[in-house]
């Protein structure tokens, strides 16, 4: 079987059921940055649309992305099907994955490099979410302290308009933070 060549950072090799990453896609520090939607799922869709890949069926699929009650978007998972795996080139030592990547067989989505060495990989999305939640909690705490100070100001000077305006601004900011956190 022939490999599919494109401008993507990956090459689909049906004879080995491998999605091979191009060596020029690896940074000089031997790290590959992989966006699973753009670099795997969308590349597969282009391959399937080319006519060469359509005969192999759905080898990459997605689940999730739905909006559930409360406006929360479910995470999207890119799932490698039918035993397909990703193989990094010999010049890659680590992969930073943006998005959720799993394999339908329950095993790791990566196979060893052509030279036999394993590549370590890290899901960056989860790390960013933890940092976001810490910043969010800190921001909310500061805003609630500000609300307390403004409430004291209103109690001491009930006829002035400034404390009421400040109260509304801080309350609006809290609502905006909560809305942004739900979208993330």
The string of DSSP codes covering 87-136 is E--TT--EEEEESEEEETTSS-SEE--TTS---EEEEHHHHHHHHHHHHH
The pLDDT assigned to 23 comes to: 94
The pLDDT assigned to 87 comes to: 96
The pLDDT assigned to 181 comes to: 63
- pTM equals 0.64
Place of tokens 């990989």: 121
The pLDDT assigned to 135 comes to: 65
The pLDDT assigned to 142 comes to: 78
The answer to whether 48 and 14 are in contact (CB under 8 A) is no
Q: What CA–CA distance (Å, rounded) separates 105 from 126?
A: 22
The pLDDT assigned to 153 comes to: 78
The CA-atom distances, in angstroms, between 85 and each of 19, 37, 82, 100, 116 are 6, 15, 9, 15, 15
Residue 182 belongs to what H/E stretch? helix 162-183
What are the structure tokens assigned to 98, written together?
């943006």
pLDDT tens for each residue of the chain, 184 residues long: 444 455 789 999 988 999 999 999 999 999 999 999 999 999 999 988 887 777 787 889 999 888 887 777 888 899 999 899 999 999 999 999 998 999 999 999 999 999 999 988 876 655 444 455 666 677 777 777 877 787 787 788 777 777 777 777 877 787 777 776 665 5
């Amino acid at each position: 079987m022939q490999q599919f060549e494109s401008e993507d950072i990956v090459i689909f090799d049906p004879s080995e059921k491998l999605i091979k990453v191009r060596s020029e896609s690896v940074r000089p520090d031997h790290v590959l940055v992989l966006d699973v939607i753009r670099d795997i799922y969308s590349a597969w869709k282009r391959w399937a649309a080319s006519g060469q890949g359509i005969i192999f069926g759905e080898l990459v699929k997605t689940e999730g992305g739905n909006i559930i009650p409360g406006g929360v978007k479910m995470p999207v998972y890119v799932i490698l099907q039918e035993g397909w795996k990703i193989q990094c080139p010999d010049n890659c030592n680590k992969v930073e994955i943006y998005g959720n990547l799993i394999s339908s067989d329950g095993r790791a989505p990566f196979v060893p490099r052509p030279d036999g060495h394993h590549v370590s990989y890290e899901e960056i999305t989860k790390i960013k979410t933890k940092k976001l939640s810490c910043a969010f909690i800190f921001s909310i705490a500061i805003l609630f302290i500000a609300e307390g100070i403004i409430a004291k100001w209103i109690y001491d000077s009930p006829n002035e308009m400034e404390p009421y305006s400040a109260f509304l601004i801080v309350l609006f900011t809290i609502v905006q933070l909560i809305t942004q956190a739900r979208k993330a």
